Amino acid sequence: MSTFTETVQRALGKKEERRYSVGGDIVFEFTPAPGRECFPEVLAELRVALKSVNRAYPWKDRNDYDGTDAPSFSHLSDGQSTYHNFSTPELHVWFHIIPGIDNVRKSQIYAYEKYLEKLAEELSKKELGAMSVRSVFRVGSGTTFKT
């Protein structure tokens, strides 16, 4: 006897299950910090730059059930400032990204990590005032055991 998920996958011709949840952050580092908080105009400028780079280098994935293209972002945060009072003060601005389809196959995990790296690399080429731009990649998985 097969489970409902296995039956649906057989019917759709899918062999690999989407069970890995992915997401990430793009972090802009300003050294020395211009202040304890990032100005709203700067946050808006960074967000627009992030969207423009994403349009040039989108994450491509297709919905398994209807075959439509999924958007690169289902959620892009407004940006969160983190101030570090080191010998040279730093201001980090974090943008949290969740892809349009956040559950991916095992074979797509590395590709999504490279996508985030490409975003950070292209953003670092723009004149945004940040000293560095980095990507933070997260992957998670869940397994259920029946008793």
The predicted-structure confidence for 13-70, as pLDDT tens digits, reads as follows 655 577 788 899 999 999 888 888 888 898 999 999 999 999 999 888 877 767 778 8
Contact predicate 87/101, CB 8 Å: no
For strands 80-84 and 20-30, give the pairing: unpaired
Say what the pLDDT of residue 9 is.
64
Mean pLDDT, the chain, whole residue set: 84
The predicted-structure confidence for 123-134, as pLDDT tens digits, reads as follows 999 888 878 999
Contact predicate 5/103, CB 8 Å: no
Contact predicate 119/54, CB 8 Å: yes
12: pLDDT strictly greater than 80:
no
Parse the chain into domains and list their residue ranges: 35-140
95: pLDDT strictly greater than 90:
yes
Least confident of 24-28, 68-72, 94-98, 140-144: 140-144
CA proximity to 85, closest of 140, 33, 132? 33
**Contact residues for 14 (Cβ-Cβ < 8 A; gap 6+):** 8, 64
User: From its phi and psi, is residue 13 left (phi > 0), alpha (psi between -120 and 50) or beta?
Assistant: left
Two structure tokens written together for 35: 């202040």
The helix (run of H) or strand (run of E) holding residue 33 is none
